[in-house]
């Protein structure tokens, strides 16, 4: 009689406290739907509300979609490596709810959390404490992958091609606007892009053609972060994206081109109006395509990323000069999102891509757990 193989319990975390809460829900729904069709997995939905409360189970997705404020139940994930499970608690006391069935031990977490507190190392740090394998980059890679300014500083140090930029603290902008404007106009020429240092899905990003638009763009960016980035705009470009998959030996997909429905690929062009188009593979000379893929892998390794990342580029039309824009460590994950579409065009289906990501997470955790976490000194000097 054959032994029944235990299902892998996959906790899919979504929602979160960021401007990309809604995008995360859509991505997670797609991921959970695909995983549920695979008999190898038991999917456990884990939702985080906009005010940071955790819920789990079948109702989690519908409750977050409805924007529910009052929840019938609440869960926590203890940062305790001996637990590795969600614990249902009473709302007021945070004590384990009596007589309530708790979830079994989680085998792996698939964070589909875009933006702050989900993509920036925060949730990754908690999962490290809990010693639960998780899909994607670790604390360091997630943190530097989220901060556009730190990214650029590391890319520049590594000799990777980037556009000119300036950055400053939001406090300086609020305190002395003329100084900031002079700094920008001295270093860059219009048009420029204004961005919060830590955001995704083009939230808070503006394209500015003159000083009036610059002031409006900086005001908008300052709503979302304590640091603001201003980048040099480049005319006549192709927006190119590459999907990277792997841990220490990553692979790059074929490049794809985004044809934005608006002047640039903003939030509406990405998710709302449905008019943006993707050309996969991108129409590029073979040499340019190869250079872009190699640069994507270099960026992935420079930031010490793991699992997955989408790497975005600007490519000058005619000369095909490459500018590395940024990486996204938890890119959109619907079946029509660029990351899975790029891998599908490279020969890896959506379902197999999810399989691969989960295996990469389990492998990385297994390797990490082999490392020593203690040291035995020659004498018990500390007692």
Distance of CA 82 to the CA centre of its chain: 28
As a whole number of angstroms, the distance between CA 225 and CA 174 comes to 13
As a whole number of angstroms, the distance between CA 142 and CA 125 comes to 10
Q: What is the DSSP string of 266-313?
A: -HIIIIIS---EEESS----HHHHHHHHHHHHHHHHHTT--EEEEEEE
24 as an active site residue: the answer is: no
Please state the residue numbers annotated as binding site for Mg(2+): 312, 326, 328
> Of the ranges 62-71, 123-132, 347-356, which one carries the lowest mean pLDDT score?
62-71
Half-sphere exposure of 310 (CA within 13 A, CB side): 23
What is the C-alpha end-to-end distance of the chain, expressed in Å?
55
As a whole number of angstroms, the distance between CA 154 and CA 37 comes to 41
Tokens 């409360």: give the residue.
53
Q: Residue 90: what pLDDT?
A: 66
Per-residue pLDDT for 166 more than 70? yes
Q: Which of 18, 20, 137, 222 is catalytic?
A: 20
Torsion angle in degrees (nearest 10) through CA of 234, 237, 239, 240: -120
Q: Residue 269: what pLDDT?
A: 45
How is residue 254 written in tokens? 């074929």
Q: Which of 201, 222, 253, 289 is catalytic?
A: 201
Q: Which of 24, 137, 222, 337 is catalytic?
A: 337
Per-residue pLDDT for 5 more than 80? no
When comparing pLDDT for 4 and 342, which is higher?
A: 342
Torsion angle in degrees (nearest 10) through CA of 33, 35, 37, 38: 180
As a whole number of angstroms, the distance between CA 311 and CA 51 comes to 30
222 as an active site residue: the answer is: no
Q: Residue 1: what pLDDT?
A: 44
Q: pLDDT tier at 72 (50, 70, 90 boundaries)?
A: low
> Of the ranges 103-107, 298-302, 318-322, 378-382, which one carries the lowest mean pLDDT score?
378-382
Phi, psi of 115, rounded to the nearest 5 degrees: 90, -160
**CA 67 → CA 16, 46, 51, 53, distances in Å?**
12, 15, 11, 12
Please state the residue numbers annotated as binding site: 148, 193-195, 201-202, 231-239, 312, 325-326, 328
Q: What is the DSSP string of 111-154?
A: E---STTTSSSHHHHHHHHHT--BSS--HHHHHHHHBHHHHHHH
When comparing pLDDT for 133 and 59, which is higher?
A: 133
Residues in the chain: 383
Please state the residue numbers annotated as binding site for ATP: 148, 193-195, 201-202, 231-239, 325-326
CB 45 within 8 A of CB 54: no
Buried b (16+ CB within 10 A) or exposed e, 329-357: bbbbbbeebbbbbbbbbbebebeebbbbb
Going by the DSSP 8-state scheme, the letter that residue 98 receives in this structure is T
Mean pLDDT is highest, among 70-84, 156-170, 330-344, for: 156-170
In order of start, what are the domains of the chain with their CATH numbers? 8-134 (3.40.50.20), 164-232 (3.30.1490.20), 237-368 (3.30.470.20)
**CA 312 → CA 151, 186, 276, 345, 353, distances in Å?**
12, 27, 16, 17, 20
Q: Residue 271: what pLDDT?
A: 47
337 as an active site residue: the answer is: yes
């Amino acid at each position: 009689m054959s032994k029944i193989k235990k299902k892998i319990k996959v906790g899919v975390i979504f929602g979160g406290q960021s401007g990309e809460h809604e995008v995360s829900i859509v991505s997670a729904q797609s991921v959970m739907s695909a995983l549920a069709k695979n008999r190898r997995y038991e999917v456990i939905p884990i939702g985080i509300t906009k005010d940071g409360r955790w819920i789990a189970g079948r109702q989690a997705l519908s409750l977050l979609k409805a924007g529910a404020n009052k929840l019938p139940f609440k869960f926590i994930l203890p940062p305790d490596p001996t637990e590795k499970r969600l614990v249902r608690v009473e709302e007021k006391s945070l004590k384990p709810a009596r007589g309530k069935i708790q979830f079994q031990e989680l085998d792996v977490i698939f964070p589909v959390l875009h933006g702050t507190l989900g993509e920036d190392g925060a949730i990754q740090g908690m999962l490290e404490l809990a010693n639960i394998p998780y899909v994607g980059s670790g604390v360091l890679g997630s943190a530097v992958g989220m901060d556009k300014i730190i990214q650029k500083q590391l890319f520049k140090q590594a000799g990777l091609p980037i556009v000119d930029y300036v950055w400053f603290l939001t406090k300086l902008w609020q305190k002395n606007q003329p100084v900031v404007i002079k700094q920008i106009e001295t270093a860059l020429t219009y048009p420029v892009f204004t961005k919060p240092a830590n955001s995704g899905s083009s939230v808070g990003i503006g394209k500015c053609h003159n000083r009036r638009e610059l002031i409006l763009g900086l005001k908008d960016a300052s709503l979302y972060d304590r640091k603001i980035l201003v980048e040099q705009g480049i005319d006549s470009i192709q927006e190119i994206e590459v999907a990277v998959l792997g841990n220490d030996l990553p692979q790059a997909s074929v490049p794809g081109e985004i044809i934005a429905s608006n002047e640039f690929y903003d939030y509406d062009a990405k998710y709302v109006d449905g008019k943006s188009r993707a050309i996969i593979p991108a129409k590029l000379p073979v040499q340019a395509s190869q250079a872009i893929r190699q640069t994507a892998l270099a960026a992935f390794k420079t930031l010490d990323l793991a699992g997955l990342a989408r790497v975005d580029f600007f490519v000058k039309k005619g000369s095909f000069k490459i500018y590395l824009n940024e990486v996204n460590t938890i890119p959109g994950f619907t079946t029509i999102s660029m990351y899975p579409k790029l891998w599908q065009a490279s020969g890896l289906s959506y379902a197999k891509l999810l399989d691969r990501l989960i295996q990469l997470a389990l492998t990385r955790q297994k390797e990490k757990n082999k490392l020593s976490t203690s040291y035995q000194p020659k004498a018990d000097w500390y007692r």
